[in-house]
Amino acid sequence: MTLRPILIHPDPRLKAKTPPVTEITDDLRKLADDMLQTMYEAPGIGLAAPQVASDARMLVMDCVKDEHIPPRPMVLINPEVTFTSERMNTYEEGCLSIPDQYADVERPAEVTVRWLGLDGSEQEEHFTGLWATCVQHEIDHLNGKLFIDYLKPLKRQMITRKMQKLKRERARAL
């Protein structure tokens, strides 16, 4: 398994909609393994392929935070939301592509998602709580949308400027 660098906003690759995966190949399985390792190492609870510069329509997540509960790494290929609750939930979200910035985002509290597993089988699951927030945040990434796109323009601009500065500083340090 290999750690992959995570793209930082702003980057055009984070704004593109990913096309569906048409074939589950060894390269895709390797990408899924690398994404899980990269997510755990960050650390994060989710990661979408565009964040590691891939256009595969695939995300990984594991929202188990309690060290007494075994980890639950999930890989979702071509995820589709098939149900959203009317009830909404607000969570202070972060993003590995927008380090150290957090903001409240309101989303449906519960969603049902259908996807393909790495073995090609169709799966469907109802998500609640942090899992529901995380899977929606990651599916947004696959559609070129970031959590800051839900914020007021001024706040979004402020965060974008901070990220531009961070990228300049990181480039200078190389």
Of 73, 94, 108, 144, the one binding ligand K1U by CB under 6 A? 94
Task: Select from ligand K1U, Zn ion, none the partner in contact with residue 87, using the beta carbon and a kind-dependent cut-off of 5 to 8 Å.
Answer: none
Judged by CB, which is closer to Zn ion: 77, or 95? Answer: 95
Judged by CB, which is closer to ligand K1U: 116, or 138? Answer: 138
Residues marked active site are found at 138
CA distances from 45 to 37, 38, 90, 95 (A): 11, 11, 17, 10
Please answer whether residues 35 and 47 qualify as being in contact, where contact means their C-beta atoms are separated by less than 8 angstroms.
Answer: yes
* Residue 149 DSSP code: G
| Using rule CB under 6 A, residue 36 touches ligand K1U | no
Of 34, 62, 110, 138, the one binding ligand K1U by CB under 6 A? 138
Site mask, ligand K1U, residues 44-63, x = CB under 6 A? xxxxx---------------
Closest C-alpha to 135, from 92, 87, 81: 81
| Using rule CB under 6 A, residue 34 touches ligand K1U | no
Please answer whether residues 51 and 96 qualify as being in contact, where contact means their C-beta atoms are separated by less than 8 angstroms.
Answer: yes
Closest C-alpha to 111, from 95, 91, 134, 90: 134
Kindly indicate which of the ranges 11-19, 74-82, 112-120, 130-138 contains the residues binding ligand K1U, using the contact rule CB under 6 A.
130-138
Distance CA 136, CA 130 (A): 10
Judged by CB, which is closer to Zn ion: 24, or 73? Answer: 73
Closest C-alpha to 33, from 92, 73, 70, 62: 73
Using CB under 6 A, list all residues that contact ligand K1U: 43-48, 65, 91, 93-97, 133-134, 137-138, 141
